[in-house]
Amino acid sequence: MEQIQFSKEELERYSRHLIIPEFNIEGQRKLKGSSVLVIGSGGLGSPLLLYLAAAGVGRIGIVDFDTVDASNLQRQVLFGIQSVGAPKVEAARDRLASLNPHITIEVHNTKFTSANARELVRQYDVVADGTDNFPTRYLVNDACVLEGKVNVYASIYRFEGQASVFNELLEDGTRGPNYRDLFPSPPPPGLVPSCAEGGVIGVLPGILGSLQALEVIKVITGVGDTLSGRLFLFDATGFTTRTMKVRKDPRNPLNGENPTQTELIDYDQFCGIGVPAAQERAVDAIDVHELKAWRDSGKDHVLIDVREPYEFGIAEMGGDLIPLATVIESTSRIPKDIPVVVQCRSGARSAKAIRQLEDAHGYTNLVNLTGGILAWQEHIDTSLARY
Amino acid sequence: MAQLIIPTPLRKFTNGQGVFTQDAANVKELLASLASQHPGLKPHLFEDSGNLRSFIRVYVGDEDIHALQGEDTALQSNDEVSIIPAIAGGI
């Protein structure tokens, strides 16, 4: 550590760290000598990256495959309107380089997968998980446990956030609990929607991502007690916080008493994604071009929109609004004698509505609009707002 | 009466209700009365076998019931019971 030196500019930049007695130049040396891999540069990744770069973490890796979208700007404070359309890792690198020229930023413009996860994780001291779906959460966890890395974790849903530190090396040489000790297996697909489907209040990832950055810095410097062995919960609606104990589970397949998993696995399959449930039979469908042709030719039909009223308020395409939860009791508004096109945001809920109506009321004239209003916006009416 | 805190992802099955208050001798009784008042919640809390689902943790205070007496953990009248589901959002 002694060989890590600072320039005059760095000493001035980090002076508010250097004058904290418990932190001082030793803490700053540890930051400069360390490396952190941030997976996902979105709502959690934005504050994480900004604070880690500002704090002087010597080498920061960023993994993301996405491009910046206008709907990101409500919470992803790394980006500005000039970044819309650009690869996130590149926009992030440019922003962080302008914030702190004394650190190294490495970008990995790729999806984090079972094929590259261990190789990526291996190159860094600490991992911070800013991803947004269950398969990747388990992938990040397993790669960290198999490679012996700390996984600083946070996740969010609407108004609720969770944070913890997984797999930290403890003083007795053992590792702290990891994600699989807390949640051995994921919920079935569809129960807990993503932010894209369920929404998220923009400040929430800012709060949780900042807590993550704090825990990364504590892990690196050894200052304070981290969230290892504890799960922090924040509910913004009532402003309540709780901190729960997390214990190791002897049945953990990675590092429990009888480990059975020594490699990464297929995480989509583990999370039940891409495995259609038996009851989800296919429904008749038309695409947006066909619906446009129906409208242009004056073909007799009805359009039912099964989204929620707040979605209808953002964009609509002339359908009769009957939210999915109420279709069964709204059959008086759904004719049986002419074609009925059922539409939602992307086509999944409308297919569900059709199956319910066919099963409960014997409809035979329902067709799904493939791709929903998103496809209509993309191909037919670009004046509509996307969400 | 014990207070049961219902997390956001499950509130759609409780008409938005976030706290469930009920006299109950133990965790099992408390969860059973919650499920009987909100039947839509039941498949999200329990497997067909009746076991709690593995993406849900139940805490009494800050302690996981697995570290106590499981669903048989006795409740005092001022206990706070939390259902903690896995959530994954982040971007």
How many CB atoms within 10 Å of residue A268?
Answer: 17
Predicted confidence at residue A189, as pLDDT, reads: 75
User: Which residues of chain A fall short of a pLDDT of 70?
Assistant: 1-2, 190-198, 275-279
User: What does the alpha-carbon distance between residue A210 and residue A216 come to, in Å, rounded to a whole number?
Assistant: 10
- HSE (CB half, 13 Å, CA atoms) of A244? 25
pTM as predicted: 0.84
Is A344 noted as a catalytic residue in this protein? yes
Residues from chain A that touch B44, judged by Cβ atoms under 8 A, are 187, 191
Q: Is the CB of residue A50 less than 8 Å from the CB of residue A96?
A: yes
Distance CA A113, CA A139 (A): 7
| Range B18-42 average pLDDT | 93
SS3 assignment, position A360: helix
Selection from A104, A145, A105, A87 nearest residue A121 by Cα: A145
pLDDT band at B11 (very low <50, low <70, confident <90, very high): confident
CB A39 within 8 A of CB A138: no
Q: How far apart are CA A369 and CA A334, in angstroms?
A: 16
Q: Is the pLDDT of residue B12 over 90?
A: no
Reference A42, options A119, A155, A138; nearest CA is A155
Average pLDDT, integer, range B13-19: 90
Retrieve residue B28's tokens. 């099992």
Residue of chain B whose alpha carbon sits nearest to that of A238: B18
Element (H, E) at A241: strand A240-245
In this model, does residue B75 exceed pLDDT 90?
Answer: yes
Check: CB of residue A111 under 8 Å from CB of residue A65.
yes
In a mutational test of the B interface, the residue from A243, A244, A249, A273 whose CB has the highest number of chain B CBs within 10 Å is A244
CA angle A62, A64, A69 (to 5 degrees): 120
Angle at A204 between CA A59 and CA A306, to 5 degrees: 120
Closest-CA distance of chain A to residue B28, Å: 20
Number of H helices, E strands in chain A: 15, 13
Contact A132 B91 (CB under 8 A): yes
- What contacts A131, CB < 8 A, 6 or more positions away? A39, A40, A112, A137, A140, B88, B90, B91
User: Considering only CB atoms, which chain B residues are within 8 Å of A160?
Assistant: 7-9, 87
> Could you confirm whether A195 is annotated as catalytic?
yes
**pLDDT at position A339, please?**
95
Q: Are the Cβ atoms of A242 and B62 closer than 8 angstroms?
A: yes
pLDDT of residue A198: 66
| pLDDT(B91) > 90 | no
Marked catalytic residue, from A92, A117, A195, A291: A195
- A104's enclosing H/E stretch is strand A104-108
Show the 3-state SS of B22-91. Answer: ECCCEHHHHHHHHHHHCHHHHHHHECCCCCECCCEEEEECCEEHHHCCHHHCECCCCCEEEEEECCCECC
By residue count, chain B amounts to 91
Q: Say what the pLDDT of residue B21 is.
A: 95
Q: Do B62 and A244 touch (CB under 8 A)?
A: yes
Rounded distance between C-alpha atoms, residue A349 and residue A312, angstroms: 14
Q: ipTM of the predicted structure?
A: 0.92
Contact: A131, B90; criterion CB under 8 Å = yes
